[in-house]
């Protein structure tokens, strides 16, 4: 469980932690599997063959995902990709409509990069700010970080594009 959470996004990890903060201990997992396979019997009372069945069930259960969550992954993946396409489409439109397309392209690129870096930085700090199991806080922090990064990068691009050497390099 910890290994999968380590490679999950900050928002996904916060949602998973909100649902289940910690996994079962080995003793709890054995008791649960024994009760599932052999109701009414304790693990200590089982024959060696039955104990092996319980251990196999524990191993198999540890790799099982929750259908409730895994069924939502494609939906959220499509939603995220859709937002990325809309963002890029707006940037392309802004470049297309600009008087100086090279200058606007530099500014749009900086804004997109700043937003991505701001969102990544906010996600990296989410555990410290929000604590475990706070999916709403992590999502809000990611959005705010992305917006702050985009605004900062856009302002930095504006300042850089005001410099005469850069303006000359862009052909203005």
Q: How far apart are the C-alpha atoms of 146 and 144, rounded to whole Å?
A: 5
Alpha-carbon distance of 70 to 15, in angstroms, equals 12
Percent of the chain predicted with pLDDT > 70:
81
- Residue 105's alpha-carbon distances to 83, 93, 158, in angstroms, are 20, 10, 12
What is residue 171's predicted lDDT score, i.e. its pLDDT? 64
Judged against a pLDDT cut of 70, whether residue 95 lies above it is answered with yes
Separation CA 34–CA 20 (nearest Å): 22
Q: Please state, in angstroms and rounded to a whole number, the distance separating the CA atoms of residues 168 and 172.
A: 6
Decide: 17 and 131 in contact? Cβ < 8 Å: no
Q: Is the pLDDT of residue 93 over 80?
A: yes
| C-alpha closest to that of 118 among 139, 136, 95, 143 | 143
Taking all residues of the chain, what is their mean pLDDT, rounded to a whole number? 82
Say whether pLDDT at 19 is over 80. Answer: no
Cβ atoms within 10 Å, residue 116: 16
Residue 156 to residue 65: CA distance in whole angstroms: 45
Q: Which is higher by pLDDT, 114 or 7?
A: 114
Does pLDDT of 1 surpass 80?
no
Name the pTM for this structure: 0.60
| Contact partners, residue 149, CB within 8 Å, separation at least 6 | 114, 115, 116, 117, 118, 119, 121, 122
Query: What does the pLDDT look like over 141-169, one tens digit per residue?
Result: 888 889 999 999 999 988 888 877 666 76
The share of the chain scoring above pLDDT 90, in percent, equals 22
Q: Is the pLDDT of residue 24 over 90?
A: no
> Tell me, what's the pLDDT at 38?
87
> Residue 81: pLDDT above 80?
yes
Average pLDDT over residues 12-22: 70
> Greater confidence, 50 or 5?
50
């Amino acid at each position: 469980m910890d290994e999968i959470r380590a490679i999950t996004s900050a928002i996904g990890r916060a949602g998973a932690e909100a649902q289940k903060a910690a996994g079962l201990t080995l003793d709890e997992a054995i008791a649960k599997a024994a009760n599932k396979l052999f109701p009414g019997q304790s693990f200590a009372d089982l024959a060696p063959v039955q104990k092996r069945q319980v251990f196999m069930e524990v191993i198999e259960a540890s790799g099982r995902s929750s259908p409730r969550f895994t069924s939502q992954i494609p939906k959220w993946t499509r939603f995220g990709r859709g937002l990325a396409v809309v963002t890029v489409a707006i940037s392309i439109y802004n470049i297309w409509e600009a008087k100086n397309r090279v200058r606007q392209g530099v500014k749009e690129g900086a804004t997109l990069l700043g937003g991505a870096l701001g969102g990544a930085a906010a996600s990296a700090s989410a555990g410290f700010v929000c604590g475990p199991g706070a999916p709403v806080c992590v999502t809000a922090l990611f959005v705010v970080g992305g917006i702050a990064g985009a605004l900062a990068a856009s302002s930095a691009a504006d300042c850089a594009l005001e410099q005469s050497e850069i303006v000359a390099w862009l052909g203005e």
